[in-house]
Amino acid sequence: MKILFRALLLLCVLVGVLVAVSNTERVALTVWPLPYSLQVPLYLLIVAVLLLGVLAGLGLGWWAGRHHRRRAREQGKEASRLDREVVRLREQLAERTPASGPADISGRGQKAIERQAALVAPDLASSPRGPLSS
């Protein structure tokens, strides 16, 4: 990519030098409402007009993208607000939920675990003597 960029830059410079060398004649530049004219080399006029066109294109592109930049700015603010809300809600959840271990199971939760165990291994749950007794 670097080689391609340098090759194109060299090509543009060569074309610019060829235009400057072959167009050294002076021309009169007159702007309509002003009463005087200016004598400039033709290559300078060509380069100035090309530069003016590039700047005008860049300006119009920037102007056309203002809606997208505004929308991106608003969505960035919304995303940061939602991130802050997620952090706040996680902190609230951590404050409300006590650190419960396996021994801290309520009666309702214990019954649910027993029902689940009965579904997974019904022969172990129904045996009164336990799984290892024969």
5-15 pLDDT tens trace: 999 999 999 99
| Confidence (pLDDT) at 71 | 97
* Phi and psi, residue 39, nearest 5°: -95, 115
Does residue 107 fall inside a structural domain? Answer: no
State how far the Cα of 114 lies from the Cα of 1, in Å rounded to an integer.
66
* Same domain assignment for residues 47 and 17: yes
Question: Hey, how many other C-beta atoms are within 10 angstroms of the C-beta on 49?
Answer: 10
| Confidence (pLDDT) at 39 | 92
Question: Hey, how many other C-beta atoms are within 10 angstroms of the C-beta on 56?
Answer: 10
* Same domain assignment for residues 49 and 69: no
Torsion of CA 7, 12, 13, 19, to 10 degrees: 150
State how far the Cα of 23 lies from the Cα of 43, in Å rounded to an integer.
5
Does residue 128 fall inside a structural domain? Answer: no
Listed residue (50, 39, 40, 46) closest to 19, CA to CA = 46
Identify whether the C-beta of residue 20 lies closer than 8 Å to the C-beta of residue 43. Answer: yes
Q: What is the pTM of this model?
A: 0.53
* Same domain assignment for residues 69 and 49: no
Does residue 131 fall inside a structural domain? Answer: no
| Confidence (pLDDT) at 3 | 95
| Confidence (pLDDT) at 127 | 53
Give the confidence band of 134 by pLDDT, cuts at 50, 70, 90: very low
The structural domain count of the chain equals 2
Does residue 43 fall inside a structural domain? Answer: yes
79-107 pLDDT tens trace: 999 999 999 999 998 888 765 555 555 66
38-84 pLDDT tens trace: 999 998 998 899 999 999 999 999 999 999 999 999 999 999 999 99
State how far the Cα of 94 lies from the Cα of 55, in Å rounded to an integer.
56
Q: Indicate the residue type of 102.
A: P
Comparing 2-6, 29-33, 127-131, the range with the smallest average pLDDT is 127-131
**What range defines the domain where residue 42 resides?**
13-53
Does residue 82 fall inside a structural domain? Answer: yes
* Same domain assignment for residues 21 and 49: yes
